[in-house]
Amino acid sequence: MLLNSRDWVYSISLLIPLFVYSLSLKAYDIVSPRRGGISFARTLELLRSDVFFNLGYVLLWIGLFAKAQRGPLRRAVVFLFHVITALVAVIKTGAHRYFRETGTTLDYDILALWAPRVDEVKPMVKLPFSSRMLLFAALFYVVLGPLLVTRAIGRWRRWPERCSTETAGISSSGFLGFCLQALGFFLLSLLVGTKPTDTGRSFARDPFINLVLTGIKEVRTSQNEPNIVGQAARHPAAGVRFVRTPRTEKRNVVLIHLESARAQSVTPYNKDLKTTPFLDELAKSSLLAERAYTTIPNTLKASISVNCGVDPDLRPGVEARSGVPARGLADLLKEQGYRTVFFQSSTQNFENFGALADNLGYEEYYPLETMDTEGFERSNYFGYEDDIMLQPSRRWLEGRGDEPFVAKYLTGTGHHDYLPPTRYGIKEFSKDDRLNRYLNCLRYQDFFVRNLIEQYKELGLYEDTIFVIYGDHGEGFGEHGRYVHENNPYEESLRVPLLIHCEEYLRKGERFAGLSNHLDILPTVLDLLGYEVEGGEYLGYSLLRPPGERTIVASCFNKDKCLASIKVFKKYIHHYGDRPDELFNLSEDPLEEHNLAGERTRKEMDERRKELLRWRSRIKALYGGRTLR
């Protein structure tokens, strides 16, 4: 007899619930509305890796229980049985929640990025009460369930307190056979295919297996990358300095950073959606970029591009520690007699902006910690409503003296988890609660922009100020099975609003219909100020002097998830082999619903992919030698 009755009950009472629990989570993710249209056969195919992993897991532990019958080895096996099963349950639950929140898989590099930042991440990953109770129940059962079930069945069957008959267990060769069978199932769980759907290899794998494989890939990649510390390429803008010309005027520069604002959800870009009527009116006397994009959909990365005119580092969140390869607008204008200040309605720990503001050259920095929160509402897990910046802004502006200045206002109200302040009421824009809360956050930001510009008018600063109003990135709400923005290469995440308002020069309003991105903001501001650049050059262009045909490139936030490029209206997306690459004609298919990749030649697709990989290599060369402090 392989196991006695107690051991069978003890082991199976945990292994079978884990089997059912993990398959139920995966099945729920497969058939959820955001992935609609998947056939029953495809569902079974997507469950295959999970089934094989769980079969291998069951065989492994039955073999271990059969081999370790008594003594210290037995106690060690029982202890590891509970600990490892708890770990597997936590990983699978975490992967399920991450997928529900983002529409993407939980890979090792994502876990490695956020695990050391527990204090920052904790508010963002707060589980709903139902999910917390589910996880608590699962962990409680993992720890005590087998013991309670075994005792209950033992009393029912009237087993003696101690089993009088010991089984012979299995021989070493028999145990080896169990291990080989378990290994076989584990290997089978690695075999997944990728059909032209929105699932991808990572999603088709069992979550635990996917985490292990992506971890191995990360280690191998890190070991194979050459050590190039001290050999970073010099950025073309590294030695830039601003030079006065006969048309130079010392105007103030105000950067209004609209957190998580996507172009399709603000009124100047979508006349049917009345979320931002003030911006819509302001756009009539502004330069509006009709097709503006972020380079990496992330708040910090957008700030690098806007302030320094350079592509950001592709590694998540390193600029605050390692610096940037070119000086920022605030730093360079200080040499021209400007004062500089940075306001934000979120905590300074958000994206480590406390350190970044200094790296960008801002002399004064006022995060949430410096502001009085009484009478203001929270708008997300790390910030308050943006009007909290108005009074500190007024105090600073009134006490600044006569020098021109650069001021940045980093809003936070649009950020997940979308808690619109009630100060200006709440409207119903959508039946979807999550989307409606987001749209009301954008509506609130519109009021903040209005209030801020009114403040500048009251203080007599309006006519001498250049206002740059831009979204850092957009948000997904299931349009392509993706939520939020980090690993979302579609228009809802990458395309952002961009308005430049200067009462004297742009009062009649202008439209820039070509492609643009955040790199164009700094050159455009310099053009309006009348400065020329010496000692280097920027890769962006002044939108007052439109360039010819160009290619806009973007990358997802997390490592090696996706790259995108747009030429005229042809948008290509590379998924690093996890999913089939995509090609869309945005002029005919602005919602990116029809993948044209299968209609193009392999040569054309290969060239688009190689172009993106060359861009990635150039960015890595610019930042590769920068040592992290």
Q: Which segment of 60-74, 167-181, 396-410, 457-471 scores lowest on mean pLDDT? A: 167-181
Residue 605 identity (one-letter amino acid): M
- Write down the pLDDT at residue 628: 36
Query: How confident is the model over 203-211, as a mean pLDDT?
Result: 92
Burial class (CB in 10 A: 0-12, 13-18, 19+), 45: middle
Query: How confident is the model over 228-232, as a mean pLDDT?
Result: 50
DSSP per-residue letters across 521-546: HHHHHHHHHT-EEESS--SS--TTS-
Confidence band of 157 (pLDDT split at 50, 70, 90): confident
- Write down the pLDDT at residue 158: 78
Note whether 63 and 179 are within 8 A (CB): yes
- Write down the pLDDT at residue 169: 64
Does pLDDT of 452 surpass 70?
A: yes
Average pLDDT, the chain: 88
Q: Give the pair of three-digit tokens for residue 359.
A: 């790296």
- Write down the pLDDT at residue 230: 46
The candidate with the shortest Cα–Cα distance to 504, out of 309, 278, 252, is 252
Does pLDDT of 501 surpass 90?
A: yes
- Write down the pLDDT at residue 394: 97
Burial class (CB in 10 A: 0-12, 13-18, 19+), 63: buried
Up-side HSE of residue 249: CA atoms within 13 Å toward CB? 15
Q: Give the pair of three-digit tokens for residue 414.
A: 């649009």
Q: What is the pLDDT of residues 246-278, one digit of tens each?
A: 999 999 999 999 999 999 999 999 999 999 999
Crossing angle for the helix pair 71-102 and 129-157, to the nearest 10 degrees: 150
- Write down the pLDDT at residue 44: 86
Q: What is the pLDDT of residues 294-323, one digit of tens each?
A: 999 999 999 999 999 999 998 876 766 667
Task: Look up the pTM and report it.
Answer: 0.90
Note whether 420 and 441 are within 8 A (CB): yes
CA distance 111 to 107: 7
Burial class (CB in 10 A: 0-12, 13-18, 19+), 610: exposed
Hey, how many other C-beta atoms are within 10 angstroms of the C-beta on 93?
20
- Write down the pLDDT at residue 253: 97
- Write down the pLDDT at residue 228: 43
Look up the CATH superfamily of 245-548: Alkaline Phosphatase, subunit A (3.40.720.10)
Question: What residue spans define the domains of the chain?
Answer: 5-223, 245-548
- Percent pLDDT > 90 in the chain is 58
The candidate with the shortest Cα–Cα distance to 592, out of 486, 468, 479, 502, is 479
Q: What is the pLDDT of residues 354-396, one digit of tens each?
A: 888 988 999 999 999 999 999 999 999 889 999 999 999 999 9
- Percent pLDDT > 70 in the chain is 91
- Write down the pLDDT at residue 528: 94
Q: Which long-range contacts (CB under 8 A, 24 or more apart) does 31-34 make?
A: 32/100, 33/478, 34/103, 34/478, 34/481
Q: How far is CA 558 from CA 14, 38, 110, 113, 354, in A?
A: 35, 27, 7, 9, 22
CA distance 575 to 199: 12
Higher-confidence position of 141 and 406: 406
Query: How confident is the model over 336-357, as a mean pLDDT?
Result: 92
Hey, how many other C-beta atoms are within 10 angstroms of the C-beta on 88?
20
- Write down the pLDDT at residue 122: 58
CA distance 265 to 281: 16
- Write down the pLDDT at residue 626: 45
CA distance 452 to 390: 7
Confidence band of 167 (pLDDT split at 50, 70, 90): low
Does pLDDT of 346 surpass 50?
A: yes
Exposure string (b/e) for 94-108, b if CB count within 10 Å is 16 or more?
Answer: bbbbbbbebbbbbbb
Q: Give the pair of three-digit tokens for residue 604.
A: 């054309």
Q: What is the pLDDT of residues 394-449, one digit of tens each?
A: 999 998 888 999 999 999 999 988 999 999 999 999 999 999 999 999 999 999 99
Residue 516 forms beta bridges with which residues? Answer: 292
CA distance 387 to 405: 21
Q: Give the pair of three-digit tokens for residue 200.
A: 């991808």
Contacts of 85 (CB under 8 A, 6+ apart): 14, 15, 18, 142
CA distance 275 to 270: 9
Query: How confident is the model over 510-522, as a mean pLDDT?
Result: 94
Q: Which segment of 174-178, 226-230, 489-493 scores lowest on mean pLDDT? A: 226-230
Q: What is the pLDDT of residues 279-295, one digit of tens each?
A: 999 999 999 999 999 99
What is the gyration radius of the CA atoms in the chain, in angstroms? Answer: 28
CA distance 617 to 601: 25
Q: Give the pair of three-digit tokens for residue 480.
A: 């392509």
Q: Are strands 383-384 and 495-496 parallel, antiparallel or unpaired?
A: unpaired
